[in-house]
Amino acid sequence: MTKAQGGWIRRYRAAPEAGVQVVCLPHAGGSATYFRPMAMALSPTAEVLAVQYPGRMDRVDEPHAGDFEELTERTLAAVRRAVDRPVALFGHSMGALLAFQVARRLEAEGVVPLALFASGAQPPGRSLARHTHPRTDEELLADLAMLGGTDERLLAHPDMRGLVLSALRADYRILRSRRRDDATLACPVVSLTGDRDPVVAVDDAAAWAQHTAGRFDLHVFPGEHFYLDDHWAGVSAVVTRHLGAHEPAPAK
């Protein structure tokens, strides 16, 4: 694993010969390590650049972003520095909404992503009712239990549980500052979801079609909010298929 760009970007499987880079943005409370399976599955066809938000894992001593706009701008700056090939964006849950904003900013600068992969997320034109008020520890733990995706061994250890809840509370605060956005991207949008996701119905995932002037595709997997945990191979196959027209960079 290599670390680059001021601590924001993780490369778990460097692929300098790949013709495409995929920037992956984690869910609320999540970290770059969540995308390690995708990095392994996509290499050497595509190189995964996983974003590590401040305030967690090896960045735990850094302050969290103040609001959604700050997180967007700082993520965008890191992406600009790290990307040196055609790029696609993959975000899960909160990461999908952040990826949408990064894609908007890139397109405004004349860089149209190859695709936006929006996983397990309400479309950006809708409000997120679950994040409209501050959450107590008990409410946060109930959310984690409902959504799954968090190792119960972490929650059993008081110190680790405190770090998990701290990151999740900060990200929920960031989400509360997010503004609804009805904008349309030029790039294709691919929406992915679990068929039993308790917070994103299949119809919600399909509504991402309203946010692209290009091609839209919907992929529904068996599972709940963290359906990816059981379907990394299938999810990676979807990404590979949609990016398949891009050949590896020629050797220098």
Strands across the sheet with 116-119, in order? 2-4, 9-11, 46-51, 20-25, 87-92, 116-119, 189-194, 216-221
Q: Which residue has the tokens 């959504």?
A: 147
Beta strands, E only, 120-221: 189-194, 216-221
Is 225 considered catalytic here? Answer: yes
Rounded to 10°, the helix 94-108/158-176 angle is 50
How many CA atoms does the CB half-sphere of 111 hold within 13 Å? 16
- List the catalytic residue out of 27, 31, 43, 93: 93
Q: How far is residue 156's CA from residue 128's CA, in Å, rounded to a whole number?
A: 29
Tokens 């061994």, located at residue: 153
Query: Is 93 considered catalytic here?
Result: yes
How is residue 132 annotated by DSSP? S
Rounded to whole angstroms, the Cα distance separating 140 from 146 reads: 10
Candidates 197, 198, 199, 144; CA nearest to 166 is: 144
Catalytic residue selected from 225, 231, 236, 242: 225
Per 3-state DSSP, what percentage of the chain is helix, strand, and coil (rounded to 5)? 40, 15, 40
Catalytic residues: 93, 225
